[in-house]
Amino acid sequence: MIAHRRVVITGIGAVTPIGTAADGLWRGLEARTSAVRTISRFDPTPFRSRIAAEIPDFRPHDFLDAKRAKRLDRFSQLAVASAGQALADAGVVPAREDRDRMGAMMGSALGGVAVAEAQIPKFLADGPRGLDASLALAVFAGAASCNIAIEFGCCGPNATNAMSCASGTIAVGEAFHVVRDGRADVMLAGGAEAPLAPLTFAAFSNIRAMSTRNDEPARASRPFDEQRDGFVMGEGAAVLVLEERSRAVARGARIYAEVVGHAYTNDAYHMTAPRPDGRQAARAMRLALADGDVTPGEVGYINAHGSSTPLNDTTETAAIKQVFGAHAYRLTVSGTKGYYGHALGASGAIEAAICALALSRGWLPPTINLERPDPGCDLDCLPGSGGEGGRAARPAAVLSNSFGFGGINAALVLRPDAGDP
């Protein structure tokens, strides 16, 4: 049996509505402004919710050759682009690696559903002959990790999970376990989502899960605020390079953070509503802390799922209190979806990247649009409106939460790199 190895984050790639690559994502956080706008991708007039967080300037040819870019749908393009950025940021050159010891784990709630939707009119007009031959290879969620593997020659462990809004966190956590257990030395891990298409958007709008603050889109996503009325859909991707620590140190890599714990549970309660007592969300946090041998008192910051829905934010607050007791009021909590919306399966990966950057740079991003805290969300949620606008801090450990439809609860624990062997 191989002893557990230490696992660190040495590279970050991201394509998000607030910025691209590690530096762009960080600058977007520092700007403390929302990317949510009225939808421009299609006519949103028929829908209750008409706002989203779109990526304004993604050009796939900047990251892929023209032939490859044409073959991939948007969600796979975002995945491969983020993976390439992460490798470059880490200084990992795939051609110099043992490809059998290098893998990819990704998460995506909806995969290539948007490209499938776009093919429906062609099928109705022209029958099977009207369909693009690439549809069969683009629509499945596994295209994210498989296209990364093909692009960069990753022959090691490979999977894409589709566990709704917790997918990205689960992907990072499972990749962490792969490296920790000695099954690979380098893993590309994260999430990608491109859900902004009319059919998918209508489905979420019809279940009344999304905000209808259409006249004030930049103020619509407001985690923990008394006036929150639903999440705001977004798109994006983030990929991390997870690496066995001793080899990262040996090659002189910059280390953003160490990943130490991960766990996930299920409410077994309802497809859309969280379990009211928050018991399984709390259990996921406890198990992740135990996995990393981290005590609740060591955690100084939680990047909350903070979806800005009426039920989620109060339930998450209650779950945090169950885990941390009195310490819950001494740690900092923030929800960062107010910046970039809710990119479903990619959100957890984006937030893992944010946690790693926060540890590395010593600054905790605020909860923008938090103007009037809900009495049921009474923790230190670091308002970005009329408050500090962020906080300089170097916590001993941070926790990233992701909760999703189907009752899935996932948590990831990171520490700053200790600098010892």
From its phi and psi, is residue 127 left (phi > 0), alpha (psi between -120 and 50) or beta?
A: left
- 342 an active-site residue? yes
Per-residue model confidence (pLDDT) at position 1: 42
The CATH homologous superfamily to which domain 7-415 belongs is: Thiolase/Chalcone synthase (3.40.47.10)
Residue 177 falls in the annotated catalytic set: no
Q: What is the pLDDT of residues 166-211, one digit of tens each?
A: 999 999 999 999 999 999 999 999 999 999 999 999 999 999 999 9
Mean pLDDT of 214-223: 98
Q: Position of tokens 């992701």?
A: 402
pLDDT reported for residue 385: 63
CB contact at 8 A, 54 and 17: yes
* pLDDT score at 133: 83
The rounded Cα 270 to chain-centroid distance in angstroms is 22
Share above pLDDT 90 across residues of the chain, in percent, rounded to a whole number: 91
Indicate which residue of 154, 177, 305, 381 is catalytic: 305
pLDDT tens, residue by residue, 330-384:
999 999 999 999 999 999 999 999 999 999 999 999 999 999 999 999 999 999 8
Residue of higher predicted confidence among 88 and 140: 88
Phi then psi for residue 359, to 5 deg, are: -65, -40
Backbone angles phi, psi at 224, to 5 degrees: 70, 5
- Residue 387: what pLDDT? 57
- Amino acid identity at 133: A
Give the mean pLDDT of 40-44: 95
pLDDT digits (tens, 9 = 90+) for 95-123: 999 999 999 999 999 999 999 999 999 99
**Set 154, 165, 377, 381: catalytic member:** 165
Contacts (Cβ under 8 Å, ≥6 apart) of 252? none
Active-site residue, selected from the candidate residues 146, 342, 355, 381 = 342
The predicted pLDDT at position 320 comes to 98
* pLDDT tens for each residue of 70-85: 889 999 999 999 999 9
Q: Cα(229)–Cα(309) distance, rounded to whole angstroms?
A: 6
**pLDDT for res 140:** 87
* Range in 98-107, 202-211, 258-267, 308-317 the model is least confident about: 202-211
Average pLDDT of the residues of the chain:
95
Separation in Å, CA 195 to CA 52, 116, 118, 181, 345? 10, 11, 12, 34, 10
Structure tokens at 331: 């740690």
Whether residue 212 contacts residue 229, with contact meaning beta carbons closer than 8 Å, is answered with: yes
> Is 305 tagged catalytic?
yes
Question: What's the pLDDT score for residue 217?
Answer: 98
SS (H, E, C) 25-83: HHHHHHHCCCCEEECCCCCCCCCCCCEEECCCCCCHHHCCCHHHHHHCCHHHHHHHHHH
Alpha-carbon gap, residue 331 to 321, rounded angstroms: 11
User: What region does 306 belong to: left with phi over 0, alpha with psi -120 to 50, or beta?
Assistant: left
On the question of pLDDT at 386 being above 90, the answer is no
